[in-house]
Amino acid sequence: MECVLHYGDETLRYTVARNPNLSTKVRIHVHPNGLIEAEAPSDAPPAEIKIALRKRARWITAQLREVAEARAHALPREFVSGETHFYLGKRYPLKIIQSAVEPSSVLLKGGQIRVTLPYRDPAAIKRRLNQWYRTKAADYFAKRLGEIASSVAWVRDEPDLKLLPMRKQWGSCSPSGAIHLNPWLVRAPRECIDYVIVHELCHLKEHNHSKRFYSLLDRQLPGWRHTKTRLDGMAELLLSE
């Protein structure tokens, strides 16, 4: 449900995510797509939530300006030094190293994603970087899928994992029980990756988005709605190549 707060000449539209793990404080989030979200306790009245937003309205508008500036420089990708790329929810500057002596490589080192190639070709840099993402995704997803699946009561055997690039989805569950995850999900924060894995594991028991499915997801991962909103808010930046 979208709500509205008027602050000076500005109209701030926000959504409310109920989190049963919160006891009193309302948390305000401004996501990378400009979405304003109020994360509130289950029993917080709407008037109290609006008061919390009004108190932080100046901070919210400042964050919205920063988001607009960041988005203006984020797309499209040019694959040059200084451009930032996400990995596990953090932005890392890209460092292109041209060398005919050093072997071609992609390394996360010194707070940078360093791509070494014998020539500066954006298409080649993109291919190398995307392959690095796929390798990192395969390793990290396999580890987290194993850890999470072992704690889920209805999963007896760890499901097969396949990487599948998708334009609009983060994951899916096949009729045979295989888990498909978008390799670009490795750019997202760790909690977002865990949410997608839990979501797909729930589909092993409930194969559609029924009330039983969401009840299962609520029990397994309380507060998932906020995490989903956070992930959706980053989708444009994370899925861009």
CATH level 2 (architecture), domain 83-239: 2-Layer Sandwich (3.30)
Cα separation, 27 vs 66, in Å, equals: 19
pLDDT given for residue 78 in this prediction = 86
Residues in the chain: 241
pLDDT given for residue 74 in this prediction = 58
pLDDT given for residue 75 in this prediction = 64
Pairing label, strands 90-98, 36-40: unpaired
pLDDT given for residue 197 in this prediction = 97
pLDDT given for residue 43 in this prediction = 87
Where does the chain have alpha helices with state H? 46-55, 57-74, 122-149, 190-202, 211-220, 224-239
Contacts of 107 (CB under 8 A, 6+ apart): 113, 114, 116
Count the Cβ atoms, other than its own, within 10 Å of residue 232. 14
Q: Give the mean pLDDT per block of 10 residues along the chain (241 residues).
A: 84 88 84 86 90 92 82 73 92 93 93 93 93 97 95 89 90 90 96 96 91 93 88 83 63
Domain boundary assignment for the chain? 2-73, 83-239
| 3-class secondary-structure state, position 98 | strand
Q: How many alpha carbons fall within 13 Å on the CB side of residue 91?
A: 9
Comparing C-alpha atoms, which of 116, 73, 103 is closest to residue 91?
73
